[in-house]
Amino acid sequence: MRILFKTKKLQKTCSVSKETIKQFGVKRGLKLQQRLMELKAAETLAEISHLPPPRCHELSGDRAGQLSVDLAHPYRLLFVVANEPAPMKDNGELDWAKVTEIKIIGIVDTH
36-94 pLDDT, tens digit per residue, is: 999 999 999 999 988 788 999 999 999 999 999 999 888 999 999 999 999 999 999 99
pLDDT, residue 71, reads 92
Class of domain 2-109: alpha beta
**What is the average pLDDT across 4-30?**
94
Q: Tell whether the model's pLDDT for residue 111 goes beyond 80.
A: no
Distances (CA, A) of 74 to 17, 45, 68, 90: 21, 22, 12, 34
| 15 touches 104 (CB < 8 A) | no
DSSP label at residue 94? B
